Amino acid sequence: MNIRIIIFVFFSLFLSQNIFAQKDFIAVKAKQLQLTSDKYNPLSPSKASFYSAIFPGGGQIYNGKYWKAPIVWAAMGASVYFYIDNSNEYDRYRTAFKLRKQGLQDEFTKDDGTVLISEAGLESAQKTLRKNRDLSLLTGVLLYILQIVEASVNAHLLQFDTDDSLSVKPVITADPLFIDAPKVGLTLKYSF
């Protein structure tokens, strides 16, 4: 009979402790979820990346960095402009080279038969323009990827906690031992 009472007391104490622990644990979890939902949005970087992928500069606008969008547009526009210009010039020189190989008059040959650019010059121009066209395409792709990455990183950094307790204070100190030839040092103090 004593054993039954001891077991009953033991289980009642054990179960009551678990009930209180569960209640406190849930309350703490609810408070943590409520605090983190105001400060950190885990979908913000992915949304910024998505908007930048769909429309270049869209992620920068989503992040509230409106001044970065015209920079993205100018960079992408310059890359597209140089790609189109180099492609058109390449086609011009390529057509002239093909016409000259067939014995026909091209735009770089005058009516009296004077050749303005030799065949070797046409070939060299084609190689240079093709290389420039390909570099313009590569630059455009890299700028496109870079603006997506920048939007995502910026969205991450906007959620970074930068309160006053996290600081770097540079201090310039003079060496008191050398008065005639003063030495100056730099000290960085950081606290968090």
Average pLDDT of the segment spanning 73-88:
96
Cα–Cα distance for residue pair 130/140, rounded to 1 Å:
15
pTM of the model: 0.63
Work out the number of other CB atoms within 10 angstroms of the CB of residue 61.
Answer: 17
Q: What confidence tens digit (pLDDT) does each residue in 137-176 have?
A: 999 999 999 999 999 999 998 887 666 665 666 666 666 6
Residue 101: both structure tokens together:
């190989």
Average pLDDT of the segment spanning 88-115:
91
Q: What confidence tens digit (pLDDT) does each residue in 30-69 have?
A: 555 554 445 667 778 999 999 999 999 999 999 999 999 9
